[in-house]
Chain A
Amino acid sequence: MPEKSITLEVFRYLPEQSDEPKYQKYDVPYREDWVVLDALNYIKDHIDGSLSYRWSCRMGVCGSCGMMVNGEPRLTCAAFLRDFYPQPIRVEPLTNFPVIRDLIINLEDFLHKLKEVKAWLIPKQEKPVSEGEYLQSPKELATYKQFSMCINCMLCYAACPVYGLEPKFLGPAAIALGQRYNLDSRDGGKEERTDIIASSEGIWECTFIGECSRVCPKHVDPAAAIQRAKVQSTQEWWMSLLLPKGAK
């Protein structure tokens, strides 16, 4: 019995050789338990060593292998061939990002935004290590836990219609991670972060379409984080009218 196979149509782009991207077709063995990443690895090892893409953990936690799979942002280590077979699968780099080569995008912009939004704990009250841990109840933990699950895979940016039009927009993951700290009972940096988030280009254009939350492989729900940020800064704006800063 001949081995079953499946066709991948892969986006190829190598700017040092040509300005024009192209699509290349590869036939790879079809296996029930294979994911798109396994198929890419098969191509790399056995058909075309020049195909370039990022991957590492192959268990959905390192966030390296996000790509467009038939037009949808997906982690390729979690996109099974069986969900597409026998139709061909089109694999492209994540949209809304500059492409370095083949399936590899440039995500430097996100790294800057993560820093801009101060995605780290700004302690409400400094406490020396010798005095032990900050207390945090399971309920307080639950308040921000969901937003801490972001793996920085960039699928939400690829899905975000606002980021596509306004690259200055902080974007779903960076806002979710800012909120992750804003909601942490140990944190006292909410005010600085809220100012940064509210003044971010694009946040007011985000109309809660929720594409970011739909594609998030870790159910972080960045759309909820953005919504919350808008409500927060609106409240603060009203408060600032009612209570000028010095009066607090």
Chain B
Amino acid sequence: MEFLNHDILIVGGGGAGLRASIAIGEENPQLSVGVISKVYPMRSHTISAEGGAAAVIKANDSLDAHARDTITGSDWLADQDAVEAFVNEAPKEMIQLEHWGCPWSREPDGHVAVRPFGGMKIERTWFAADKTGFHMLHALFQTSLKYNNVTRYDEWFVTRLLVDDGRVQGVAAIELRTGQVRAIGGKAVILCTGGAGRIFPFTTNAAIKTGDGMALAYRVGVPLKDMEFVQYHPTGLPGTGILITEAARGEGGILVNKDGYRYLQDYNLGQPLDVRDPRHPQKASMELGPRDRLSQAFMKEVEKGRTIKLETAVGPVDVVHLDVRHLGEEKINKKIPFVRELAKNYAGIDPVYEPIPVRPVVHYMMGGVSTNIEGATIVPGLFAAGECACVSINGANRLGSNSLTELLVFGARAARSAVKFAADHPQINKDALIAQAEDEQRQITQRWFQKDGSETIAAIRLELNKTMEAGCGIYRSEESLKKTCDDIRKLKERYHNVGISDKSISFNTELTAAIELGFMLDTAEAVAFSALARQESRGSHQRTDFAKRDDEKYLKHSLAYRTDGDPRIEYLDVVITKWPPAERVYGQQTS
């Protein structure tokens, strides 16, 4: 088998992966980097991020305030040393991206503009209209083109991490175009594969978000941390799940129920101000409360029968209205043009004239591959950054606009530690790696090309989606979670019997979908079992049978380890530095 070799490998070409690749070039341009991505980098899901990226830049703001908002938002489950490093490095990273050409929206005087986002007491979200992720990704991708030490493996799909002598030393990947499995060696490997929203039926996530990196790490013994914390974004379009950015509310949009009532005032999120009041929108209040609380309020409105029943092709769906009409056409076009485009195309309404129907939608995994503050996992040679990782700065609920900044800060951090690790571990065992990749090729051939099965990918995926929503949704209980855990066990059994009809070699997308389904089942298992084990309510993890936060027992990260049976759940203390656990208070009047 042909053997490809680099100093450092990066799996995933989204924001975190590209930032990491550039950081390696900055550290040492002599180091060769391989970026392996199952899609062309500019197709990565970072592209769908809309509203913005948080970093302290204005005189009225402070690092302390950013840290405090993040920790409060996390319901005290974030590691405070990681948050401090994050807020501290965030401005530098964001300015760096500005120097690389990112078209940030500006103040009249030419400085970068900021807008408020949910759960922020001071506005600090940088934005490029409402296509921030798109512009960040293209700026990173285009900048990466000038680094000649970076070799891209576009449309190569990593199926296994290669481990020798207890160290990750490379990957096995299918080159999609030729269908061949290749061995790629690297002294260090950084996973930057993003989230896993596709384990749920209704998600903002792109088709490619199937938890690949999480499952790859899980399979070599790295625990997945805090997987029970799944963020529902409060405003997705019904049917498709397409995201309507929080920036719509940051700019002054309001949420109303079927009576036209701003229902958030009933859920301890403060009192509404008239939309014409110059103090509207109030920061960290009402529509600018944190995402977990807004999504939970929606569910309560459903229970009270106060949502709107929207007729769709698949039956009636509960929605509320996101109303931005009072902003006026000019502001909508200038600040949130993509919202208008998406609402027109996919909901058939023009938000200049009509309110947008929305409902909560699975958006982000707070959990992921457990890393330390340097992006390193417990398996030597393996690093992770971005949504696929859990450092954690997000704890039980991520604040909107922290994730784009996170992938810059921790993409660069993981890269720097991988560079150090590679320098200290110059040898890799080429023969062992080739043997493992050959074994992977053999297994793929036997499992998928020589064996048929009566189960279909679509059927297993659909049932997984259904049970995740039923058991691991916005509100969970022991009963619902036990059922989902049980369903996942059965689905994993049935997965052995999945067959594919396409036996061809070149660009076999049925094969990749089948392998992705295996990744999704592993990721989903970690979510459900971690959720069952956590007998408290915190942030996005709301248990109807344990309604209160329990710091005595659960001021801890969960760690899900893969075993031959159900995952083993262990716990790790949260790092507290300056901010002792307190109650999360939103909706206080600010002058």
Q: Answer whether residue A115 sits at the interface, using C-beta atoms and an 8 A cutoff.
A: yes
Return the CB mask of A27-42 against B: 1 if under 8 Å, else 0.
0000111100000000
B172-205 vs A, Cβ < 8 Å mask (1 yes, 0 no): 0000010000000000000000000000000000
Contact with B along A114-135 (1 / 0, CB 8 A): 1100111101000101101111
Q: Which of A49, A63, A123, A145 contacts B457 (CB 8 A)?
A: A49
> Does the CB pair A59–B502 fall under 8 Å?
no
Residue numbers in B under 8 Å from A123 (CB-CB):
99
Q: Is the CB of A49 within 8 A of B502?
A: yes
- Which residue, of B45, B101, B105, B177, has the highest number of chain A Cβ atoms within 10 A? B101
Name the interface size band of chain A: 35 or more
A120: chain B residues at CB < 8 Å are 100-101, 142-143, 145-146
The answer to whether A141 and B103 touch (CB under 8 A), given A104-B507, A133-B95, A148-B138, is yes
Contacts of A32 in B (CB 8 A): 313
Asked if A48 is at the interface of the complex by the 8 Å CB criterion, the answer is yes
User: Are the CB atoms of B111 and A57 closer together than 8 Å?
Assistant: no
Residue B109 interfacial (CB < 8 Å): yes
Within 8 Å by CB of B507, from A100, A132, A177, lies A100
Q: Using known A-B contacts A16-B506, A57-B45, determine if residue A133 contacts B100 with beta carbons closer than 8 Å.
A: no
Closest to B502 in A: A50
Distance between B461 CB and nearest chain A CB, rounded to angstroms? 8
Contact B103 A33 (CB under 8 A): no
Which residue from chain B places its CB closest to the CB of A106 in the assembled complex?
B177
Task: Report the separation of the CA atoms of residues A46 and B99 in the bound assembly, to the nearest whole angstrom.
Answer: 48
Instruction: Name the one of B44, B92, B138, B506 contacting A100, with C-beta atoms under 8 angstroms.
Output: B506
A56 touches B313 (CB 8 A): no
Total interface residues on B, CB under 8 Å, equals 64
Q: Which residues of A contact B278 (CB under 8 A)?
A: none
State whether B207 touches A58 (Cβ < 8 A): yes
> Which of B206, B239, B505 has the most chain A CB atoms inside 10 A of its CB?
B206
Residues of chain B from 473 to 524 with CB closer than 8 A to chain A in the complex? 500-502, 504-510
> Do B506 and A133 have beta carbons less than 8 Å apart?
no
**A149-191 Cβ-contact flags toward B at 8 Å (1 or 0):** 1111000000000000000000000000100010010110000
Q: How far is the CA of A132 from the CA of B341 in the complex (A)?
A: 33
The docked-state distance in angstroms from the alpha carbon of A152 to that of B141 is 12
User: Judging by beta carbons under 8 Å apart, are A50 and B99 in contact?
Assistant: no
CB neighbours (8 Å) of B101 from chain A are 120-121, 181, 184, 186-187
Using CB atoms, name the residue of chain B closest to A122.
Answer: B146
B340-360 interface with A by 8 A CB criterion: 341-342, 345-346, 348
Let me know if A78 is at the binding interface, CB within 8 A.
Answer: yes
How many Å from the CB of B341 to the closest CB on chain A?
A: 8
Partner of B106, one of A53, A104, A118, A137: A137
Given that A31-B313, A33-B312 are known contacts, is A62 also in contact with B48, CB under 8 Å in the complex? yes
A88 close to B (CB within 8 Å)? no
- Give Cα distance in the complex from A162 to B508, angstroms: 32
> Does B166 reach chain A (CB closer than 8 Å)?
no
Residues of B within 8 A of A46 (CB): 458
Contact A62 B206 (CB under 8 A): yes
User: What's the nearest-Cβ distance from chain B to residue A200, in Å?
Assistant: 17
CB distance from B94 to the nearest CB of A (A): 8
Q: Whole-angstrom distance between the alpha carbons of A60 and B47 in the complex?
A: 10
Contacts of B338 in A (CB 8 A): 61
In the complex, chain A residues whose CB is within 8 Å of the CB of B99: 121, 123, 127, 129, 133-134, 186
A127–B313 Cα gap in the complex (Å)? 55
Flag if A15 contacts B506 (CB, 8 Å).
yes
Known pairs A45-B458, A148-B138; A14 contacts B106 (CB<8 A): no
Complex: chain A residue closest to B49, CB-CB: A61
Cβ of B43 < 8 Å from any Cβ of A? yes
What separation, in Å, do the CA atoms of A115 and B105 have in the docked complex? 26
In the bound complex, residues from chain B placing their C-beta under 8 Å from that of A111 are: 40, 154
Distance to closest chain A CB from B463 (angstroms)? 13
Tell me how far the C-beta of A190 lies from the nearest C-beta in chain B, rounded to whole angstroms: 14
- Given A56-B43, A132-B95, A137-B108, check contact A114 B507 (CB 8 Å): no
Interface string of A62-87 (1 = CB under 8 A from B): 11100000000000001000000000
Q: What A residues does B239 contact at CB under 8 A?
A: 33
B47 partner, pick from A16, A57, A107, A134, beta carbons under 8 A: A57
Q: Is the CB of B506 within 8 A of A58?
A: no
Given the known interface contacts A32-B313, A129-B96, the answer about A141 and B45 at a Cβ–Cβ threshold of 8 Å is no
Q: Are A57 and B48 in contact (CB under 8 A)?
A: yes
CB <8 Å contact, A144 and B103? yes
The one of B110, B135, B456 in contact with A137, judged by C-beta atoms closer than 8 angstroms, is: B110
* A101 interface contact, C-beta 8 A: yes
> Is residue A240 within 8 Å, beta carbon to beta carbon, of the partner chain?
no
- A120 to B101 alpha-carbon distance, docked (Å): 7
**Residue B39 lies at the interface, judged by CB distance under 8 Å to chain A:** yes
Per the bound structure, the CA–CA distance linking A130 and B89 in Å amounts to 12
A138 an interface residue at 8 Å Cβ cutoff?
Answer: yes
Q: Are B138 and A55 in contact (CB under 8 A)?
A: no
Interface residues as binary, B233-264 with A (CB distance below 8 Å gives 1, 0 otherwise)? 00000011011000000000000000000000
| In contact, B43 and A62 (Cβ under 8 angstroms) | yes
Q: Is the CB of B103 within 8 A of A145?
A: yes
B48, A50: Cβ atoms closer than 8 Å: no
- Chain A residues with Cβ below 8 Å from B348 are 33
A232 located at the interface, meaning its Cβ lies under 8 Å from any Cβ of chain B in the complex: no
Of the candidates B99, B348, B456, B502, the one having the most CB atoms from chain A within 10 angstroms of its own CB is B99
Q: Are A61 and B96 in contact (CB under 8 A)?
A: no
In the complex, what residue of chain A is closest to B505 when comparing beta carbons?
A: A16
B575 at the interface (CB under 8 A from A): no
Interface-centre pick from B45, B106, B312 (highest chain A CB count, 10 A): B106
B42's partner among A44, A136, A152, A187 (CB-CB below 8 A) is: A152
List B contacts of A151 (CB < 8 A).
42, 47, 134
Asked if B87 is at the interface (CB within 8 A of a chain A CB), the reply is no
Q: Within the assembled complex, what's the spacing in Å between the Cα atoms of A186 and B509?
A: 42
| B42: A residues at CB distance < 8 A | 62-63, 151-152
> How far does the Cβ of A209 sit from chain B's closest Cβ, in whole Å?
26
| Residue B299 at the chain A interface, CB threshold 8 Å | no
A61-B48 contact given A129-B96, A136-B110, CB 8 Å threshold: yes
In the complex, are the beta carbons of A14 and B504 less than 8 A apart? Answer: yes
Which residues of the partner chain B approach A44 to less than 8 Å between Cβ atoms? 509-510
Query: Across the interface, which residues of A come within 8 angstroms of B110, CB to CB?
Result: 135-137, 140
Nearest CB in chain B to that of A144: its residue = B103
Question: Within 8 Å CB of A141, what residues of B?
Answer: 103, 105-106
A55 CA to B509 CA, complexed, in Å: 11
Per the bound structure, the CA–CA distance linking A153 and B405 in Å amounts to 26
Q: Determine the chain B residues whose CB is within 8 A of the CB of A137 once the complex forms.
A: 106, 108-110
Q: A56-B39, A120-B100, A130-B92 are in contact. List 11 more A-B contacts (CB 8 A).
A: A44-B510, A49-B457, A52-B502, A53-B509, A56-B208, A62-B45, A62-B47, A101-B506, A133-B98, A138-B105, A152-B40
18 contacts between A and B (CB under 8 A): A14-B504, A33-B312, A34-B313, A52-B502, A60-B342, A61-B338, A62-B42, A62-B48, A64-B43, A78-B345, A102-B507, A119-B145, A121-B143, A133-B98, A138-B105, A138-B108, A148-B135, A151-B134
Counting from the closest, the 5 A-B pairs by CB-CB distance are A135-B110, A121-B101, A50-B502, A45-B458, A56-B206
Residues of A participating in the B interface, judged by any CB pair closer than 8 Å: 14-17, 31-34, 44-46, 48-50, 52-64, 78, 100-102, 104, 107, 111, 114-115, 118-121, 123, 127, 129-130, 132-138, 140-141, 144-145, 148-152, 177, 181, 184, 186-187
